[in-house]
Amino acid sequence: MPESDDLAVFRRAVNLAAGESEQKWEDSRRLLEAAVFPSIVEQLVQRLQAAPLALQVKAALADMLGQGQARRVQDLNGAALKMLTGCPPSKAFRSLCLYFGLVQGRASKWPAANLRSEEVVRVLQGLANPFDLLLTAPVTTVLDLGAGDLSFAGELVDRYLPTLFAHQQELVLHAVDRLDPRSKLGGPLHPGRDRIAQLQSRPGLAFRFYGNRDMFDLHELDEAGHLAARYTLATCWAPATPTFAYEPTRLSDAVIQEDLRRSKGEFRQVRYEGESALEVQHGERALIFPSWKFDIRGPVALLNLMARRGLVGVLGAVDSQVFWEILAHLLEDARYRPQNQPFNPENLPIVFGDIYQRLTQLKLGETISLAQLGVLRFCLPANELTRTDQSAVGFREVWIRRGAVFPGVPASSTARQFLHMREESPPWCLTLVPEDRQP
């Protein structure tokens, strides 16, 4: 029988999962032991039921696993295992366990935040600012993605730590940024050593900064138990552009590259003082950035990540280009996602129609629930960047607020800079509450 594309895609994904971590691969050996094997098969059967896989692949897996009664790997159909993974039985079984997330890394020492989304929405409705959730939630943990100079981290701590400390509640704050602290590129986005040291020494605060870390590649930190599985709040201030300004599932690579060249100028990879860098020709000047500056990840990956990592996601100081691309993926109707048409000031009012009018009429500081403007997307497309966890995500509630900085709400230095940028249109702040996850 000719091999279907679905099967080939699945097999590649399984092999990718198997090769992701040497530690996990070693750990997967013990799943073959007689004492645990039957319960692992049962868990695979359960995971398979909820997995969004192609029907043919699902059927082949279900057939191979049977009723979950196998006692040893030899009881499973070796030919089916080979067809599904390309591997001999033991290796195939271990690979499938990794694919379905049955191999845990070291247990995290940080508590996982866990509240029903309905409850989160109810509490947030009564709060002037989403970060005030830290004053009532049983777990008080924050993950700051693309944290830059840690200015937001500093403001958050100053605003909430005294109260939490007075109530003997520890604040856990983890910050991640892709900039390598040793790099000469990145300028003011590098956090000062003093700021890191200060945050690390505050009583009542468990602060960690992870530099040189891509937010879409956190598995090493997870395996080492450095991160919480889920945070009370996951936040991203001034999400990087162009990283999140173009969505690869909507725009082809050729369209993105052309738009980048048109709007930013010619660019190329170069060496700069011993490190890889991106050189962008801006008029007469050659600007130098980290080599990955123009890696395009898109809002779907960011939204997926935030939904999986936070009970609440807050995207602050989102510039116009990133905002409209995000919005296109939060709404159910596909007409907001025209294929291969980069958004621009001319087509935005046409694509978003009334929604565009309502949002651009919002006054600074005003908030609106997106559900009042259109039907929220039921579930975001799965994204290979967040592939290891298979369940689909969507949002129960999305609030949009106009402006960079709001009274009493901690903000980042980039958000504060918007106040001085007269030509830049005011940015946006989104508070997102993910739906409860399917088991």
Ligand X SMILES: C[S@@+](CC[C@H](N)C(=O)[O-])C[C@H]1O[C@@H](n2cnc3c(N)ncnc32)[C@H](O)[C@@H]1O
Enumerate binding residues for ligand X (CB under 6 A). Answer: 146-149, 151-152, 176-179, 189, 214-216, 237-238, 240, 243, 317, 412-415
Burial 173-191 (b: 16+ CB within 10 A, else e): bbbbbbbeeebebbeebbb
φ/ψ of residue 127, rounded to 5: -110, 145
Residues in the chain: 439
Closer residue to ligand X, CB minimum distance, 240 or 260? 240
We find the least distance from the C-beta atom of residue 206 to ligand X, in angstroms, to be 20
Closer residue to ligand X, CB minimum distance, 82 or 159? 159
Strand ranges (E), 109-245: 141-145, 171-176, 205-210, 231-237
We find the least distance from the C-beta atom of residue 294 to ligand X, in angstroms, to be 11
Closer residue to ligand X, CB minimum distance, 295 or 435? 295
Beta carbons of 175 and 209 less than 8 angstroms apart: yes
First vs last C-alpha separation in the chain: 34
Closer residue to ligand X, CB minimum distance, 27 or 223? 223
We find the least distance from the C-beta atom of residue 149 to ligand X, in angstroms, to be 6
We find the least distance from the C-beta atom of residue 418 to ligand X, in angstroms, to be 10
We find the least distance from the C-beta atom of residue 233 to ligand X, in angstroms, to be 14
We find the least distance from the C-beta atom of residue 79 to ligand X, in angstroms, to be 41
- For 163, residues 6+ apart whose C-beta sits below 8 A from its C-beta are 135
Closer residue to ligand X, CB minimum distance, 70 or 175? 175
DSSP 4: P
Closer residue to ligand X, CB minimum distance, 81 or 409? 409
We find the least distance from the C-beta atom of residue 156 to ligand X, in angstroms, to be 12
Closer residue to ligand X, CB minimum distance, 81 or 411? 411
- Distance separating alpha carbons of residues 271 and 288, to the nearest angstrom: 10
154, 156, 157, 159 alpha-carbon torsion, rounded to 10°: 120
- Distance separating alpha carbons of residues 18 and 10, to the nearest angstrom: 12
- For 309, residues 6+ apart whose C-beta sits below 8 A from its C-beta are 143, 230, 231, 234
